[in-house]
Amino acid sequence: MRIVFFGTPEFAVTTLEKLIITDNHEIIAVVTQPDKKRGRGSQMIPSPVKQVALKNGLPIWQPSRIKKDQETLQRLKDSQADVFVVVAYGQILSSEILAIPKFGCVNVHGSILPEYRGAAPIQWSLFDGKKETGITTMLMNEGMDTGDMLLKSYTPINLFTNFNDLSVQLANQGADLLLETLEKISLGQLTPIPQNDTKATYARLISKEDYTIDWSKSALEIHNQIRGFYPNCVTIFRGQNLKITQSLPLGEIENLELPPQFQKLPNYLQGINEISGNVGEIVKTIKNFGFVVQTGNGLLLILEVQLAGKKLQSAWNFINGTRLEVGESLISEVS
């Protein structure tokens, strides 16, 4: 197929790379968001998708507002594309654009639709503690992820999975599902299935406020927030912002198959149920693991942190470096 690829972040890169090395597809052009200022020097940095396109010598189009950009619209009309492939592009496509390609616009979405329509499906599925998610390919319409579904691919989520892990997994899964979808479209083997709008949920954009840890919530809720919004969840320790990047709710581990690095942890938890403190209080330290915080419901073991201006480190190294003591508290308000 002749393809115009729309995508911007790292999540879209795997699909683009697999399309490039597939012999029976031709990437006519790549449409991606304009370069953005990033980092301390405020340098203009191209999107991850643009970097791959540059490396492979592909034509790149970067309209700031694709609905209003007549030059890009004409290019798309002239492209004679069989299909537009859209993976986390970041702009809404007009009905005029959607109608251009012969087989329509195929979107790779990071959830099992109609659940988690919207901008951040992977993050919110983790935040909600879902035990399964996946990828849906669909034919796009003018709505927000409301188009008819083509294929689905499922994957389980365990308690140790964070946003980074799941993004990588789903990016690979999405790339494979997209290739299967295109093959079946070309062979006329797919019948689009309308979504059931009554079962739809929405995965809104994440705001800065979502990163603040509220220690009055349960240990499991906080853990899901930390892994869902990895690596950005933050609290206050000794007046400074402290990011919490890895945790484990101790009330959940009895029935878990623990990874090798946690096999010895139960040995340190004898009598843990008799320990309690105020919400946000550090009630115990565990050698080689980290420190335990009292939440509104249950105890949360903190395993990895990053103090403002410092590097990411294990919670055990943080304990030793700061001389952290049992009885100190973490505060929900952040600056």
β-partners of residue 31 are: 6, 61
Establish whether 256 is an annotated binding residue: no
How many Cβ atoms sit within 10 Å of the Cβ of residue 64? 10
- CA dist., res. 300 & res. 218, Å (int): 9
Query: Does the CA dihedral 233-245-258-271 come out positive or negative?
Result: negative
Instruction: Report whether 3 belongs to an annotated binding site.
Output: no
Alpha-helical runs (H) found in the chain? 10-20, 48-55, 70-78, 95-98, 121-127, 163-186, 219-228, 315-322
111 a known binding residue? Answer: yes
SS3 (DSSP) at 262: helix
- Distances, alpha carbon 44 to alpha carbons 14, 35, 57, 69, in Å: 23, 6, 20, 21
113 known ligand binder: yes
Cα 130 to Cα 228: distance, rounded to the nearest angstrom: 11
Backbone angles phi, psi at 255, to 5 degrees: -100, 15
C-alpha distances (whole Å) from 287 to each of 19, 55, 66, 265 are: 48, 47, 54, 10
CA distance 69 to 196: 33
Place of tokens 């499991």: 220
Return binding residues: 111-114
Return binding residues for (6S)-5,6,7,8-tetrahydrofolate: 111-114
